[in-house]
Each structure stands twice: as C-alpha cells, then as structure tokens.
Amino acid sequence: MEKKVGIYVHIPFCKKKCAYCNFYSLSGYDGGDTLMPAYKTAVLKHIEEYSAQLDGYLIDSVYFGGGTPSHFGASRLIEILEKLKRNGHVLLDSEITAEVNPGSITKEELVKLRRAGFNRLSIGVQCIDNSTLKNLGRTHTFADTEETFKFARQAGFKNLSLDIIYGLPSQDREAWAQTLGRVAGLKAEHISCYSLKIEEGTQLFDYKDSPFLPDADVQAGMYLYAVDILARFGYRQYEISNFARRGYESKHNMKYWLGEEYIGFGPAAHSYVGQCRYSFTEDVEGYIEQIGQGKRIVEHDEEMSDFENAGEYLMFRLRTTHGISEEEYYSIYRLKMDFVLELLYKYEKQNLAVFNEGRWRFTPKGFLVSNKLIGELLDAQTRQRTQISKPWKTETIAEETQMTLFDKRPVAAGLFGGRRLVGHNELS
Ligand code: SF4
C-alpha cells in the first residue's frame, strides 16, 4: 500500500460571521449548544463508515478547516484526529493542520493540540489595523494575533502559517506595507496573502462600489509589493497566494494543486478519489441527520475524463511555481500541447511566463492575470484536441486514452464521502 491521501475535515462553526465571508459556516453556536457535540458525533460516525476506503491509503496530511476549528474546541478536534488514526493509516510524519483564529484558543488548548499530534497551525490574521478588523467583523485585535502566535510557539508548534488580506476597505499601500512588515516580523514559516474578493451574499457586497476600496491597479501594486518584500524576508513564493520558508510549503494544499487525491469529511467539503470528484451538501443539520440514518449524502459527483484531468493539470499546476512541463503532460495524458506552447512563448515575451529547467511557470505579473491566461490556455488545449481528433487519428487517441484511464482506475471512488476543497484560511 503506497498510495497517499490528504484528509480534510470541515468545521462549519464560527463565533461571528465576517463581513466578507462566503464560506459555509454557522455563527452563534458555542460549545454549550447541542449542535457542536452532535456534529462531532456525525463526523466520527462518518469516518468509521469510511474506514474500508481509508484502509487502502497512507494518510500524509490532515487539515481541519472551516469555519473556525479553534472555536469548535481542542478536545473535539483531538477526538476526530484520534478517530482518523484508529480508522486510517496516519503517517507519523503527516502534516496535521488546524485553522485557528487569534484569541479563540487558549495556551492550554494549544498544548493539548500539539501533544495530540497537530504540528501546524494556520492563523487568520488578515491585517494589523484594529479598526479595519472590527469593520470586517473579525473578533480579534492584532495584539490577540501576537499573543496566539506566542502561545503557539510556547506550545511547541514549529510550523505556523499566517493569513493576510490586501485590498481591504481604506487600506492604502502604506497600511499594506505595515501589515506585511509586522506579520513577516513574527517569523512564521509560511504566509498566505489573499486579495479581498467581494462576493454576492456577503455583508460587504452592499459596499462593492465604495470609493474606500482600493482599485484594481492599487491591488495589483500591493500584490507585486508583497511578492518582493516577502522574498526579502526569506519567503519563497510557491503558489499564487502562498509563500514559505524552504521546506515549509503546505503539503496538504499542494495536493490540490498537483492533482493528488484527498478525502473530505463534513458538509460542503469536496473529495477527489480515483478520478472522481464529489461533494456534500452545505447543511450541517442535514449532514448530521443523514449520517445518523446511514443515508447517502453526496450532493454532487462527477467522474473526470482524462481530457478534463489534463485541463486541471494546466489549471492547477500553473497556480504554482512548480509549473508544467511538456514531457510530463504527454507522459500522463498522452496529449501534445503545441497550441498551449504557442501561447506560453507569447506570454514569455510579455514577461508573464518563464521557461526554466524544462518547466513553464507564470511570473508574479502573470499570476496577477492568471485567470485570463489559464482560460486562454484551456481554449488552446481544446482547439488542439479538436485538431488531433480528425478521423485518421481517432482510433489511436481512443486507444491511448483507454489505456491511460485503465491505468488510473484501480482505486474505486468511495461515493458516500467527500467534502470541501480547502479551509477558509488557505483559499484564494
Ligand atoms: S472568514 Fe473565517 S472566521 Fe470569518 S466567518 Fe468566514 S469562516 Fe468564519
């Protein structure tokens, strides 16, 4: 048994809903309510039901995201982790992360988490300005961040990640530079920088046209400044929004970007297993009820074709500085990428992409417009497919595709599990 998998556990509870948040989470519940204990019981049952599928894997990353796992309480997180250890093969050197909000966890709880095997925390800092934090609906101050960070170190955590956001209301370049400086000064191993996205359905959506929001040019400048300044502090960019000291790249999130398998538990979580993607409904109470009754709880499932997987290869790997390679693409999918290459050469001339040691990747300037570039590359991939599918070649392609599919199929997808892709702290 050598197949590795990442486990995602969604914790859909927050103390209070943030003004910009569109992740699936409920606010207003605490440990004294019955919903959190009932949810924990459902997740434990779900893991138990899934143990036959887990048996075929080595678990090398576990990620508790949300929501706010720290609001759920250390004891409940530990119970779930223990269950995973009993029902799956969690490797000793597995990366085990919990998302934590500053001020929402005590030093004693952090010690308990560390002793139970958690070895990485992702802390939602967002910015250093307390009035901005308040306007965003965050329940902490920057002093809480500093204290939680200090407690985490004292508890023995040697792998800490800090999340910050740029493009916040009233945030100018100077304020962003101060956030970057103070946050980098904490000397965490990993920093994620996300741009504020104003999504429909959030409280902030009513202010989407506010003159207090930095415009696109200012945001672009903030991003490029972050890439530059973080490099000076020793943080290497390895993904559009993620920066790490060497060796501290998030193992778990790399699975999403490298197209590796992951299994989720909890409402709204996603899974990718054996060429299938599936997800659960965004409904905690429905999840608890259906798990309790042993019902099928998948909301959406989809078997990925080889061509779709090839598209995801371009889409996800180009988010990373690892990038893509022609040989790798051909060896996995038996597809040529001549049309894609034509575009990449064009991007290279525009300083949007670089070719280095056999691999293509975007530059920071390219990352800024990566959605557009990836869209163009996917179109090029489709055009290429249309061309190679001319009748005289169809048979060969079908034969090759068949073989590739067969080679990848042995792991059957467990279609009653599945959850959300990543926790809120690490999603851009
Ligand atoms: S941003 Fe995070 S802490 Fe805030 S409501 Fe959303 S999930 Fe909860």
| pLDDT exceeds cutoff 90 at 15 | yes
Looking at the fold, whether 253 and 396 belong to one and the same domain comes out as no
**Ligand 1 atom closest to residue 25's alpha carbon, by position in its atom list:** 7
Q: DSSP character for 117?
A: T
| pLDDT exceeds cutoff 60 at 420 | no
Angle between helices 74-87 and 35-49 (to 10 degrees): 10
Q: What is the pLDDT of residue 99?
A: 98
pTM of the predicted structure, to 2 decimals: 0.90
Looking at the fold, whether 422 and 319 belong to one and the same domain comes out as no
Q: Is 18 in the pocket of ligand 1 (CB under 6 A)?
A: yes
Q: Is residue 13 situated within a structural domain?
A: yes
Cα distance between residue 392 and residue 396, in whole Å: 9
**Ligand 1 atom closest to residue 137's alpha carbon, by position in its atom list:** 4
Q: Give the rounded percent of residues in the chain with a pLDDT score beyond 90.
A: 83
Q: Is 14 in the pocket of ligand 1 (CB under 6 A)?
A: yes
Q: Is residue 116 situated within a structural domain?
A: yes
Q: Is residue 293 situated within a structural domain?
A: no
Q: Is residue 301 situated within a structural domain?
A: no
Q: Is 22 in the pocket of ligand 1 (CB under 6 A)?
A: no
Looking at the fold, whether 236 and 375 belong to one and the same domain comes out as no
Q: Is 68 in the pocket of ligand 1 (CB under 6 A)?
A: yes
| pLDDT exceeds cutoff 50 at 150 | yes
Looking at the fold, whether 186 and 311 belong to one and the same domain comes out as no
The structure tokens listed for 352 are 């949007």
Q: Is 4 in the pocket of ligand 1 (CB under 6 A)?
A: no
Q: Is 23 in the pocket of ligand 1 (CB under 6 A)?
A: yes
Q: Is 67 in the pocket of ligand 1 (CB under 6 A)?
A: yes
Q: Is residue 404 situated within a structural domain?
A: yes
Q: Is 137 in the pocket of ligand 1 (CB under 6 A)?
A: no
Looking at the fold, whether 209 and 325 belong to one and the same domain comes out as no
Here the CATH number for the domain that contains residue 218 is 3.20.20.70
| Residue with CA at minimum distance from ligand 1 atom 4 | 18
Q: Is residue 284 situated within a structural domain?
A: no
Taking only the tens place, the pLDDT of each residue in 314-367 is 999 999 999 999 999 999 999 999 999 999 999 999 999 999 999 999 999 999
Q: What is the pLDDT of residue 130?
A: 97
Looking at the fold, whether 323 and 251 belong to one and the same domain comes out as no
- What average pLDDT does the chain have? 90
Looking at the fold, whether 87 and 198 belong to one and the same domain comes out as yes
What average pLDDT does the segment 410-427 reach? 31
Task: Identify any residues that bridge with 99 across adjacent strands, giving them in sequence order.
Answer: 122
Looking at the fold, whether 373 and 422 belong to one and the same domain comes out as no
Here the CATH number for the domain that contains residue 363 is 1.10.10
Q: How far is the CA of 423 from the centre of ligand 1 (A)?
A: 10
Reported confidence tier of residue 389, pLDDT bands at 50, 70, 90: low
Looking at the fold, whether 359 and 421 belong to one and the same domain comes out as no
Q: How far is the CA of 72 from the centre of ligand 1 (A)?
A: 13
Cα distance between residue 286 and residue 307, in whole Å: 34
Domain count across the chain = 2
Looking at the fold, whether 227 and 184 belong to one and the same domain comes out as yes
Task: Tell me the residue range of the domain where 392 lies.
Answer: 306-408
| pLDDT exceeds cutoff 70 at 423 | no
What average pLDDT does the segment 269-295 reach? 93
Quick one: 15 exposed, middle or buried, by C-beta within 10 A (0-12, 13-18, 19+)?
Answer: buried
Q: Is 404 in the pocket of ligand 1 (CB under 6 A)?
A: no
| pLDDT exceeds cutoff 60 at 176 | yes
Looking at the fold, whether 140 and 74 belong to one and the same domain comes out as yes
| pLDDT exceeds cutoff 50 at 411 | no
| Cβ neighbours for 123, distance < 8 A, ≥ 6 positions apart | 99, 100, 101, 102, 145, 148, 149, 152, 160, 161, 162, 163, 188, 425
Best-predicted range by mean pLDDT among 122-136, 371-385, 396-410?
122-136
Taking only the tens place, the pLDDT of each residue in 155-173 is 999 999 999 999 999 999 9
Q: Is residue 88 situated within a structural domain?
A: yes
3-state helix vs strand vs coil in the chain, percent to 5: 45, 20, 35
What average pLDDT does the segment 177-184 reach? 98
**Ligand 1 atom closest to residue 21's alpha carbon, by position in its atom list:** 6
Looking at the fold, whether 26 and 131 belong to one and the same domain comes out as yes
Q: Is residue 278 situated within a structural domain?
A: no
Q: How far is the CA of 11 from the centre of ligand 1 (A)?
A: 11
Q: How far is the CA of 132 from the centre of ligand 1 (A)?
A: 15
Question: Could you identify the residue written with the tokens 């501290």?
Answer: 248
| pLDDT exceeds cutoff 60 at 280 | yes
Taking only the tens place, the pLDDT of each residue in 51-69 is 999 999 999 999 999 999 9
What average pLDDT does the segment 9-28 reach? 94
